[in-house]
Amino acid sequence: MQEYERKQLLERIGRESATVGVDIPERIEVQGTEVDLREFVFEIKRRETVPAGERERVERAKRNLRRERLERKEQIEAGEVPFEEGEVLADGIIGIDRALEALENLDGASVEAEAERQATADKKRWMNFLKQALGNDDDGPQVRGP
């Protein structure tokens, strides 16, 4: 995989909007085990609240999904897979992110808390945009000219 292709894939999975319009994968291999991910997420989300006995199962699933996401990302970062395989890994990561979002929003997060989280994310995106547009980075303003 070329360096620019690797960077392109990493940028794609790092986008905050990467999961917009993406479906949760039907099946996915997580930690060497085939999982019916969509069915699991929908089964859990159908309930009004997650019973105490199921909470540990959901938390375990989230840990496994995060671990799988990290492993896939590291494969892309290493750049040792062909670009086509990297695209498949990136698609899987975005699907995992979508499932994690759904599982993180369990336990009836209030509308106000969700709105506040969204407003904070919007502000962060706006500030990042302004920094890029004005030529600033984390180290302060860029000096231009002689």
Name which residue leads in pLDDT, 88 or 16.
Answer: 88
Mark whether 21 and 59 lie in a shared domain: yes
Single pTM value for the model: 0.67
In a domain, 144, yes or no: no
CA–CA distances in Å: residue 117 to residues 23, 52, 120, 126: 22, 26, 5, 14
CA–CA distances in Å: residue 42 to residues 39, 53, 61, 93, 117: 5, 17, 13, 19, 23
Mark whether 55 and 118 lie in a shared domain: no
Name which residue leads in pLDDT, 53 or 100.
Answer: 100
Q: What is the pLDDT of residues 78-107, one digit of tens each?
A: 988 999 999 999 999 999 999 998 888 775
Name the residue range of residue 116's domain: 110-137
Q: Which amino acid is at 89?
A: L
Residue 99: how many CB atoms within 10 A of its CB? Answer: 26
| Of 104, 27, 23, the residue nearest 66 (C-alpha) | 104
Mark whether 71 and 126 lie in a shared domain: no
Cβ atoms of 5 and 81 within 8 Å: the answer is no
